[in-house]
């Protein structure tokens, strides 16, 4: 069944929207029990915009926020992408690729040079198939995360999507994530 897609700006969402988003994200991210409850539809930084697919209820989602990260010696503007998920009962129907294609279009509308996301290693093939590239770096250091205060350096792939710049323009060096993840 095809989904109906929208881009929702955070300021346009109300209590009912956040409740519905939180319920779907709780099913998409069972490894974070109790994090998506009530109206809490974000994990770290709140997105500024969300790509949402619906089939009567929220079926697919990705959050986006523009930030600067430190890559090597460069402060690089990026659109951080996170909370990418599809309702488990719809897994395998192509909605994940669709949410990523629509997210890429949103990043182009936001006129950012790059998209950036962190993912589990087993998901790199999915993101690569969606046009993202594993970013070579020695380490990724996160800003303080209240959900995981002990985490500083993470050993997960950082994926980059060239949007308004060429992949060759991505700065070399370690990545310092000077904000929370989406």
Distance CA 133, CA 18 (A): 31
pLDDT of residue 106: 98
pLDDT of residue 17: 96
pLDDT of residue 55: 96
Number of domains in the chain: 1
Structural domain of 86: 4-177
Helices marked H in the chain: 15-28, 95-109, 124-129
In the chain, which stretches have pLDDT less than 50?
A: none
List 175's β-bridge partners, or say none: 71, 140
CB 166 within 8 A of CB 111: no
pLDDT tens per residue, range 77-107: 999 999 999 999 999 999 999 999 999 999 9
pLDDT of residue 43: 84
Mean pLDDT of the chain: 89
pLDDT of residue 86: 97
With a pLDDT cut of 90, the percent of the chain lying above it is 71
Residue 131, classified by CB atoms within 10 Å of its CB into exposed (0-12), middle (13-18) or buried (19+), is: middle
* Residue 61 covered by a domain: yes
Write the CATH number for 99: 3.40.630.30
pLDDT of residue 143: 53
Distance CA 61, CA 82 (A): 9
* Residue 182 covered by a domain: no
Which among 171, 152, 178, 179 has a CA at the least distance from the CA of 72? 171
pLDDT of residue 1: 74
Query: Strands, E, within the chain: which ranges?
Result: 4-9, 49-54, 58-71, 74-86, 114-118, 133-134, 140-142, 153-154, 158-162, 175-177
How many CB atoms neighbour CB 106 within 10 A? 20
């Amino acid at each position: 069944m095809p989904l109906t897609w929208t881009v929702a700006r955070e300021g346009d969402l109300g209590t009912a929207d956040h409740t519905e988003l939180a319920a779907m994200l709780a099913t998409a991210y069972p490894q974070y029990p109790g994090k998506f409850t009530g109206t809490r539809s974000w994990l770290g930084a709140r997105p500024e915009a969300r790509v949402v697919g619906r089939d009567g209820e929220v079926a697919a989602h990705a959050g986006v926020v523009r930030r600067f990260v430190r890559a090597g010696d460069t402060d690089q503007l990026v659109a951080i992408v996170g909370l990418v998920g599809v309702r488990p009962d719809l897994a395998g129907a192509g909605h994940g690729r669709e949410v990523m294609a629509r997210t890429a279009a949103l990043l182009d509308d936001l006129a950012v040079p790059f998209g950036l996301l962190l993912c589990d290693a087993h998901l790199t093939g999915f993101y690569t198939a969606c046009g993202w590239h594993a970013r070579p770096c020695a380490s990724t250091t996160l800003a303080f995360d209240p959900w995981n205060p002990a985490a500083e350096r993470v050993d997960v792939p950082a994926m980059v999507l060239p949007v308004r710049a060429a992949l060759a323009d991505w700065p070399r060096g370690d990545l310092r994530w000077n904000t929370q993840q989406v």
